[in-house]
Structure formats: C-alpha cells, structure tokens
Amino acid sequence: MILEIWETLSWKDAVDILFLSLVSYQLFVWFKGTKALRVLIGLVVLGGIYSLARFWGLFMTTWVFQILWQVLVILLLVLFQGEIRQVLERVSPLGYLRAKRSFSEVSVAEVLAGTVFDLAEERTGAIIVISREDNPTEFLTSGQPLQAVPTTALIKSIFNHNAPAHDGAVILSGDRLEQMGAFLPLTERDDLPDQYGTRHRAAIGLCERTDAVCLIVSEERGEVSSVVGSDIRVWKSGDQLASRLKDWLGLTPRTGPSFKAFVKGFFTRNWSAKVGSLLLVAAAWLVLAGGQDVKTTMKAPVEYLNVPVGLVLAEGTVRRIDLELSGRRHQIVTLPPGAVRARIDLSGLKAGSHRVRLKTKDVDIPL
C-alpha cells in the first residue's frame, strides 16, 4: 500500500515535502545541542505514534493523544517562549529592514585580536561581545554604560583582576564600547567539553539568541576562542583572528561562491542532517497521506443486467463511464484495476432509446 500511495505523489506533494524538510533541517541547526532539540525529537516521536494510531483506527489511543496535544501546546508555549521568539525573529522579514551596525575602522579587528592574545599571554580571563545586526541588550544584566573607543589599554584595565567589572563582558557596538561588566545568559547545552567554564557557556548562550560574535580568553589555559552561532573555534594566531574578524564585521569585500560551489555546498554540507530531515518528512507524509481525503476520476466498465427477452443492446451503448471517487487516499489507491464497475438494471424496459440515470447504489466499489 505504501508504494501505491507513493505513486500518487503530485508536484504539490513534492513541494510540500521539500518545504517541510527545509524547515525541519533549519530547526535542527538552530537548536542543535540544546534541550529544545530533545523536546522536538520527543514531539516527533509522539506525533508518529499519534499518526499511526489514527491510521490504524485505534480510537482510545487517538482520543488520549488529542487531549495530550492540547496540554502540550500550552506547556511548550510557556517553557520555550524564548526559543519560539528566537525563531520568529529569525524568519521575520522586518529583520532585513533594521539598521546595520557599521564598523568603519579595519583597525578595530586588529586591536581586538591583538588585545585578546595579550590577555591570553598574561592569563587574564576576558569575554568581548561584538554586536552585529541583533541588539543583545535584552539578554544582558548588570552592565555599566560606557562610551569609549576600544583600545588595548582600556580593555586590559577593564579585565584587570582588581577591576570591579572584570568578571563580566564588554559590549562593542559599531566602533564604540557601550557596556562593561555585563553578564550573559548561560547555554543549556550539555554536550560541551568539560574544560569550558562560565565564560564559554555565557558566550554560547548569547550567540544562541543573537548573531553576536564573542571572543573568550581562558585564564586557566591561556587560550583564545570565538563563538559565532553554534560554531566554537580556538585560535592560535592573532593575525588569523583579525582576518576572520574583518569578515564577520563586514570590513572586507565579499565575493560570493560560484553557482557550482553553492550547489555543491548545499547538497554536501551537513548532508546527513539534510537527508535525515527529508526521510523523516517523507515518512510522515506517507503516514498522513494515507488518511487524507482525496478526489480522483476513474474509468469504470458498465454491466447491463436483466435485459428483457428478445431485446439486444444497440451499437453505441455506453460501455465505460467516468466516475469521480472521493475518500481516504489509502482506500482509493488500493482498489484493483477494473474493480469498480457500474451495474444497470434494464428490467421492464421496452424496445427503443432510453436514458438511464445512474445512482450511487448502481456503482459497485469493493471496500
């Protein structure tokens, strides 16, 4: 039956599957490594059980799940309001209309790169947040306002062990330091290496919610790391970091990849997650499509019963008709060829031309 349902796939169904596969993959990328992803996976499993229960006609199980979904929707809205808001902000077209923060000086990247490596050499912990299009202010606490040009001496003085704001983060917006001593939201990911401390978890937590670039200096290991989105990288050279910062801050002219490279990257990058999303959505479509109400047109042979004695059917008598059937897809696609037929009772008719109205009871559908 699955093959029969799959053979009825239309171009609209294909677009439906591809679109939801893209949405599923993007949600996986956004929530990878977080508790929200585990919840989403659990919901997918419950949704699969519910779909199978409906498909097999398990009345009690379907009834329980219908009540459970109503409770789950409210719980999810309360527990994951932050993640839901994050997704809505990312897909909102208004995000492209926001004023972009400009970084006019290339030296800003070089100053920051040189400063964090100086701090790493001195084993002084630090976290620097570089805001881009998203405003991180709503996620910050306890920050002190500051309007200053970022210099190595100033940043070092802020993170000096004796300075009151050294445990927090400095916030760079455009070409100005706007806050110091700010505390960031911690990530809930439990797949991070043990050596990642509070600074790393705070940087990841903010980058999960905004498009900021975070630079972290570990005082224990004298190591410089960066966090952008879900990407965490350790840097060995200030020059390499400065070059990458210029890219992140839009200070270097960008040349987009060729069309061939773009297509290749689209299909090869994270291919396992993309294929998994496609298979998951396709499987869900097969289950749900079977219970979908559809309409189809089918040719059916006509059988004439009880022909009066002495009469014969004239040439040109209708032998096949077009029937429009509606019902569940899994019922319609499993009908054997020629199984649907119309039977017309001619008893009582006399010689001549007759128009017979076909009624529903005259159509034989073996369900």
Ordered by start, the domain boundaries in the chain are 2-96+258-290, 107-248, 293-364
Mean pLDDT to the nearest integer, 313-317: 78
pLDDT at res. 190: 78
CA distance linking residue 62 with residue 52, whole number of Å:
9
The pTM of this model reads: 0.53
CA distance linking residue 117 with residue 261, whole number of Å:
34
Mean pLDDT to the nearest integer, 310-336: 75
Task: Output 290 or 175, whichever has higher pLDDT.
Answer: 175
Indicate the range of 3-12, 19-28, 57-66 predicted with least confidence.
3-12
Architecture category of domain 107-248 in CATH = 3-Layer(aba) Sandwich (3.40)
| β-sheet bridge partners, residue 209 | none
Task: Report the helix count and the strand count for the chain, using DSSP H and E.
Answer: 12, 11
Task: Output 175 or 164, whichever has higher pLDDT.
Answer: 164
* CA-wise closest residue to 55 among 336, 363, 288, 358: 288
CA distance linking residue 252 with residue 106, whole number of Å:
8
Question: Mind listing the pLDDT tens digit for each residue in 40-97?
Answer: 778 878 888 887 887 777 888 888 888 887 888 787 777 777 666 666 666 666 655 5
Mean pLDDT of the chain: 80
- The enclosing H or E element of 54 equals helix 35-56
Residue 272, classed as helix, strand or coil, is: helix
Give per-residue burial for 80-117: e unless 16+ CB within 10 Å, then b: beebeebbeeeeeeeeeeeeebebeeeebbbbbbbbbb
Residue 249 has pLDDT above 60, yes or no: yes
pLDDT at res. 99: 47
CA distance linking residue 7 with residue 10, whole number of Å:
9
pLDDT at res. 183: 92
Task: Output 304 or 37, whichever has higher pLDDT.
Answer: 304
Task: Output 285 or 187, whichever has higher pLDDT.
Answer: 187
CA distance linking residue 179 with residue 103, whole number of Å:
17
- The enclosing H or E element of 65 equals helix 59-79
Residue 289 has pLDDT above 70, yes or no: no
Greatest C-alpha distance within the chain: 117
Mean pLDDT to the nearest integer, 222-249: 89
218, 239 contact by CB (below 8 A): no
| HSE, side-chain direction, 13 A CA sphere, residue 365 | 17
Question: Mind listing the pLDDT tens digit for each residue in 142-160?
Answer: 888 888 888 999 999 999 9
Residue 367 has pLDDT above 50, yes or no: yes
